[in-house]
Amino acid sequence: MSGWRRLQVKFRTAGLLTWTRVTQPHTGRGGCLTFCQSLSTGGPLRNDFFKDLEAQLAAMRKKAADALPGSSWSPFEFNPDLPPERADVVIVGGGVMGWSIAYWLKKKENKSAGMKVIVVERDPTYSQASTVLSAGGIRQQFSLPENIHLSLHSADFLRNINDHLGVVNEDPIDLQFNHSGYLFLASEAVAHIMEENYSTQRSAGAKVSLMSPTQVKERFPWINTENVALASYGLENEGWFDPWTLLNAFKRKAISMGVIQCCGEVTGFSDTTNVLMNRDGEEVHLKRIKSVKVQMPNSMEFQPVECAIVVNAAGAFSGKLAEMLGIGLGPKDSIAGLPVPVEPRKRREGLGGNYITGVSPEETEEPDTSNLEVDHQFFEDKVWPKLANRAPVFENLKVTSAWAGFYDYNTFDQNGIIGNHPLITNMYFATGFSGHGLQHSPAVGRGVAELILDGEFQTLDLSDFSFRRILVQEPMLERNIV
């Protein structure tokens, strides 16, 4: 009887397991104690058999699912974190500017899945990124009309952010926007600049009001209006919000539209050079990027991504990225010798109670940018005296925390660089905003997407921010830098 049972079992298991190895020998188990010794202390034969059966059936189901189309099985082993081998646009830098450009590119494409866009970010924790370390303020009080228009359009975008970046069936976006205007105080010496800025701002459509010292005192009784000749206060579309929420909103919407996110560092480019002759008979070397070398974090593995267009939105590190292509390394007097004038500058913010303060250091007193350490003595020497002078209640205050972040500081004229480089045909820059990148990111993203897809700016004319002003050395200075 037991022999017959054994035979039956063997037949059944043999029938089901034709393509897998039998892992356990079934002889000498359970029933057949008379012929061979059993050393197992397991349960009766039938229990083991059913457990094996279940495991084998699960393995069968997995194999069948892998064999159907749509599964990710492939006979070759590969690293799933690598970016794809080919893409249309590679955006270097996963801050708010990079993701804004990715979103607008996908929004403007005519066909769904018409373009393959990859965003490459080397630090998924964003520990040194300017976006997340920024205070998140938005203001319209600039001196250049282009900057004012950028702020107004971005405020418009932020007001309707759920219409733009809302994803079906997901939570609505809450930016925690605090509406409170920026108050600028001017002494006698610079009051005329403030008046000129006021007229520019009004004609561009910003809602700003000029106030005399008495009106300031009426409205904000805690301010000491000594030495103040004129003040300008933003009535609308100014305030601060959470930059991390904005970044995640852009990211979520862009990914739902098909943008591919890649964690890695761009360590090199492969390009071809066309040598042409210009009118003066000089040779001009025009480069065209063929592929971007993306290296995986903490590993020697890299993937060359063939691409048509590269967008440099690397923020404080854009200068270094451009150097990989040889910009800035040519002979001194040529175009190739002009580096991209963007470098990281450290800005410290201190948090005391519910107030955030900061002071821009003078040109000669720039802090060391090799790390993001905070210099507390700076607060004692520079910030606190001015704060206590202007608002006497701040004489007794306690600093609860402080942090430092990088500005992608444009050493040339502290305004953004938008557009492509004259010597590299397919690299577009969107960097160097020196502290107002976050507040301009929606409008700049739209501008860059228009430049790439339509060839020219459609909604806002940002051609003044192109490389041309750096080549001819005509700085476009912004007089209201904070």
DSSP state of 189: G
Q: Which residues of 79-91 are buried (b: 16+ CB within 10 A; e: fewer)?
A: eeeebeeebbbbb
Which one of residues 28, 145, 258, 268 is an interface residue with other proteins (CB under 8 A)? Answer: 258
Which one of residues 22, 33, 57, 235 is an interface residue with other proteins (CB under 8 A)? Answer: 235
Instruction: Give residues with Cβ within 8 angstroms of 319, minimum separation 6.
Output: 328, 339, 340, 341, 342, 343
DSSP state of 84: P
Tell me the three state secondary structure of residue 43. Answer: coil
Q: How far is the CB of 137 from other proteins (least distance, A)?
A: 13
Tell me: does residue 459 bind other proteins (CB under 8 A): no
Instruction: Tell me the window of 129-137, 233-241, 320-328, 358-366 that interacts with other proteins (CB under 8 A).
Output: 233-241
Which one of residues 151, 237, 312, 434 is an interface residue with other proteins (CB under 8 A)? Answer: 237
Instruction: Give residues with Cβ within 8 angstroms of 456, minimum separation 6.
Output: 450
| C-beta atoms surrounding 324 within 10 Å | 15
DSSP state of 256: H
Tell me: does residue 354 bind other proteins (CB under 8 A): no
Tell me: does residue 466 bind other proteins (CB under 8 A): no
Which one of residues 179, 376, 468, 479 is an interface residue with other proteins (CB under 8 A)? Answer: 179
Instruction: Tell me the window of 126-134, 178-186, 323-331, 395-403 that interacts with other proteins (CB under 8 A).
Output: 178-186
Put the strands of the sheet holding 302-306 in their side by side order.
Answer: 265-277, 283-295, 302-306
Q: How far is the CB of 403 from other proteins (least distance, A)?
A: 22
Which residues are 388's β-sheet partners?
Answer: none
Residue of 272, 264, 313 whose CA lies nearest to 291: 272
Q: How far is the CB of 400 from other proteins (least distance, A)?
A: 19
Considering only residues 31-90, where is the footprint of other proteins by CB under 8 A? 68-71
Which one of residues 66, 85, 123, 170 is an interface residue with other proteins (CB under 8 A)? Answer: 170
Give the strand pairing for 137-138 and 239-240. Answer: antiparallel
Considering only residues 105-164, where is the footprint of other proteins by CB under 8 A? 159, 163
**Comparison of 152 and 430: residue with beta carbon closer to other proteins:** 152
Q: Which residues are near other proteins by CB under 8 A?
A: 68-71, 159, 163, 166-171, 176-180, 207, 219, 235-237, 239, 248, 252, 255-256, 258, 261
